Amino acid sequence: MYKLKKLALALLLCLLPLTANAKVTVFTTPLKDLHITTIKGHLYDSTKIKKKSKKDYSDLFARSIDWLEKLHKSKKTFEISELKNDEAQVILSSVYFISKVESGDYIPNIMPAAIGIWAELGQLVVVVKGKKKWKLRIKKPKKH
């Protein structure tokens, strides 16, 4: 299963254009700016889907994105798969899910084009830090 995850992730990362120097890796594969924005878009989208679960993951997803962005801006390199905190698990799950969508292995089938939508959406996602709860929001367009 580990090799399958690595292969799926490698496929995903090979198909996406890469930019900037990564400070975050997953199974030694660098996460670039586009990967970070795709994860942000996916997690934002996940908070908007009506689920059977009554648990609200918005706060955890917002904290995970904030955490990931801080690591990505750091001078030090972080291997996410070696970290055991909740935020790392959220990011790993997102990467795994995105790689399953990319390879067409996710059932029910989600079109791989969703990844492009998540990447564009992720460029607009911001973390809003509340006193008790954090949320994800879409940036308001700048007025001209």
The answer to whether residue 14 scores a pLDDT higher than 60 is: no
Mean pLDDT computed over every residue of the chain: 85
The answer to whether residue 77 scores a pLDDT higher than 90 is: yes
Indicate the number of domains in the chain. 1
For the segment 81-134, what is each residue's pLDDT rounded down to a tens digit?
999 999 999 999 999 999 999 888 877 778 888 999 999 999 999 999 999 999
Assigned domain for 123 exists: yes
Assigned domain for 20 exists: no
How many helical (H) and strand (E) elements, i.e. helices and strands, does the chain have?
5, 5
The answer to whether residue 2 scores a pLDDT higher than 70 is: no
- Please report the pLDDT score of residue 110 as a whole number: 83
Assigned domain for 119 exists: yes
Assigned domain for 124 exists: yes
Assigned domain for 19 exists: no
- Please report the pLDDT score of residue 9 as a whole number: 54
**Rounded distance, CA 26 to CA 81, Å?**
6
Assigned domain for 74 exists: yes
Q: Which carries the bigger pLDDT value, residue 138 or residue 110?
A: 138
- Please report the pLDDT score of residue 20 as a whole number: 47
Domain extent, residue 83, equals 2-9+32-137
- Please report the pLDDT score of residue 4 as a whole number: 47
pLDDT band at 18 (very low <50, low <70, confident <90, very high): very low
- Please report the pLDDT score of residue 103 as a whole number: 87
Assigned domain for 71 exists: yes
| This prediction's pTM | 0.81
Taking alpha carbons only, the member of 112, 128, 104, 129 closest to residue 38 is: 112
